[in-house]
Amino acid sequence: MGSSIVQKILQEHVVEGKFETGEEVGLRIDQTLTQDATGTMAFLQFEAIGIDRVRTKRSVSYIDHNMLQTSFENPDDHRYLQSTASRYGVYFSRPGNGICHQVHLERFAVPGGTLIGSDSHTPTAGGMGMIAIGAGGLDVAVAMGGGAYFLKIPKVMKVNLTGRLQPWVTAKDIILEMLRRLTVKGGVGWIVEYGGPGVETLSVPERATITNMGAELGATTSIFPSDEQTRSFLEAQDRGNDWRELKPDPDAQYDEHIEIDLSQLEPMIAQPSMPDNVVSVREIEGLEVHQVCVGSCTNSPYMDLARVAAILKGKIIHPQVSMTLSPGSKQVFEMISRTGELSDLIAAGVRILESGCGPCIGMGQAPPTGAVTLRTFNRNFAGRTGTSPDKSYLCSPETAAAAALNGVVIDPRKLGDYPIVEPPKKFIINDNMVVTPPVDGRDIEVLRGPNIKPVPTKDPMPDQLEGELLLKVGDDITTDHIMPAGAKVLPLRSNIPAISEHVFVRVDETFPTRAKAAGGGFIVGGLNYGQGSSREHAALAPMYLGIKAVIVKSFARIHFANLVNFGIIPFEFADPADYDKLNQGDRLSIAGVLEGLDKGGVFLKNESTGASIRIVTNLSPRQIKIMKAGGMLAYTKGAAGS
């Protein structure tokens, strides 16, 4: 029996465990990436582990999220990150060099390698043929120290692409079609591998758009073959020596198959407030639009922005529309500047933002009250724009540009001939905004601002847990619900006591106060709890508030791992119907916790009603040890000292 691309790469990198679906293995990690919203805590954790130098082939620290410097916190974090990068042997991408996923695709990603990043959209590099996985910052810190990254081997879903995209239909429409079919839960427990004759019609940046938003499916990661398209992209980046061919064996076996005929797709759009609320653009034509934002790690490479410029050239955006554009990298920015496309965009009335995440994470450009905003981003969770309630739609750059011109949603195919934009044979190569670390950084001083606080730790797990059910929530709770992003909260990422004041405030503004007054307690949720960002603060800050366990119908992958890393037990209902037997404010207790972890389950007693409820864990033997130690940091330091 032949192997898929996924199986080939994973098997090359397994250093611990048995390679079978559902079994936990440890993987050797070739590369890591961090960004400034998660990176400060990751490097604080790396320092706490006590290793003198990173041990990966390449680790890169990016500044792209917290770019808005309204006070000292963000620039202090940037200074800390630059000094830790030099001290510990990490490449440092300076503010203005671009969004981590775009820059990594351009300059660092290599076919056949493994990459983990403290950002959920790390799978972008799957467009290059990498196994690239989003993870919590503590997992990344361990990998930087040479430790294995552990995951349970997912099932592999083959998506067979045939045909060719028609004019005005894009890679964004492919992944929106996937979300329409599978939903935000449909990829949980899966790696998605794309193949078929349609693959060769898609460029690496187009493939990266698809793998980027595979995170919205809940997939562990997504991957494309490494072929002549990959070789061409790498040669255009002056990195031809990094190319290697990667394709599945002819008799490769998969756990699931999906067929997509690219020629049958049409422009799609995700309606508020979930990426899987997808319809065709023509179904909502005429909807009045007030804001259009082009950019993000999903749709900000050169070809996307060049097509927007071609659509807008010689025209002016509608008077009721405010339009912004964020180049994905300094390379992209310089390319559109030299080719004249930047002038066309400015002449059309587009507001040009810096090369960073910006409005995608609520860092500026909040829409007006009640306004519709069209965004070429990857998430439209409620309130993510910075305005609440909001009406955020996700679409391709072409659909966004059409709406910007007309002031309403319009099928872009009605604009006439599709603009022909030739891909560059060579990109502008200038890595002067990447700081190479010194060979020996032991004499480098690590600079810490007053907002940077020590990493909170947790005591070893007790044998009995008791407390109040502090919050009961429903299905599809995102990390944005648990720990909001945006200009108000993101600067506090290196200060857990301060950021903990914002836990769940979008759901219940009294939660932090009640949690502290009660001395901690429990949270109950529904399906797909913790979907969205990799932000470990959605586990770390609740841990600081005393949350002892989260009991739900099912978890999203990264958040489950983050809860384990910070010593909060992730329980699931043995019978999902028991969710209805618990109410906010009930007093709960769990006895025999330590033995229950070993056996895979315990009984939860509702002291307020007398109900006894079976709850289970899906922890590996390694994760059980982590839980008992009080979290990954204590476990890692203990293992290093033993």
Residue of 118, 300, 500, 533 marked active site: 533
Torsion of CA 92, 533, 55, 16, to 10 degrees: -170
Residue of 121, 318, 379, 493 marked active site: 379
How many angstroms separate the CA atoms of 261 and 263, rounded? 5
DSSP E strands in 528-567: the ranges are 547-552
Confirm whether 53 is a catalytic residue: no
Structure tokens at 509: 């503004």
Question: Is the Cβ–Cβ distance between 397 and 286 less than 8 Å?
Answer: no
Nearest to 200 by CA among 167, 163, 172: 163
Residue of 30, 36, 58, 65 marked active site: 65
Residue of 30, 36, 64, 139 marked active site: 64
Give the strand pairing for 14-16 and 465-472.
unpaired
Question: Is the Cβ–Cβ distance between 427 and 302 less than 8 Å?
Answer: yes
7-36 burial by CB neighbour count: b if 16+ within 10 A, else e? Answer: bbbbeebeeebeeeeeebbbbbbbbbbbbb
Confirm whether 64 is a catalytic residue: yes
Confirm whether 107 is a catalytic residue: no
HSE, side-chain direction, 13 A CA sphere, residue 221 = 30
Helix (H) or strand (E) holding 194: strand 190-195
Confirm whether 533 is a catalytic residue: yes
326-336 burial by CB neighbour count: b if 16+ within 10 A, else e? Answer: bbbbbbbbbbb
The amino acid at residue 120 is: S
**Backbone φ, ψ for residue 541 (5° rounding):** -70, -45
Torsion of CA 624, 630, 633, 639, to 10 degrees: -60
Could you please report the per-residue DSSP string of 127-170?
GGT-EEEE--HHHHHHHHTTPPEEEEPPEEEEEEEES-PPTT--
How many angstroms separate the CA atoms of 312 and 294, rounded? 13
For residue 152, the tally of other CB atoms under 10 A from its CB is 17
Could you please report the per-residue DSSP string of 361-378?
GTSS-PPPTT-EEEE-SS
Confirm whether 290 is a catalytic residue: no
Cis geometry, peptide bond prior to residue 389 (ω within 30 degrees of 0): yes
Helix (H) or strand (E) holding 269: strand 268-270
Question: Is the Cβ–Cβ distance between 118 and 493 less than 8 Å?
Answer: no
- Strand order from edge to edge, sheet including 221-223: 221-223, 190-195, 155-162, 256-261
Residue of 78, 307, 535, 559 marked active site: 535
Confirm whether 180 is a catalytic residue: no
Residue of 30, 76, 119, 344 marked active site: 119
The amino acid at residue 380 is: N
Structure tokens at 119: 């950002």
Structure tokens at 57: 């082939």
359-392 burial by CB neighbour count: b if 16+ within 10 A, else e? Answer: bbbbbbbbbeeebbbbbbbbbbbbbbbbbeebbb
Nearest to 17 by CA among 125, 150, 133: 150
Give the strand pairing for 221-223 and 190-195.
parallel
| Residues known to be catalytic | 64-65, 119, 379, 533, 535
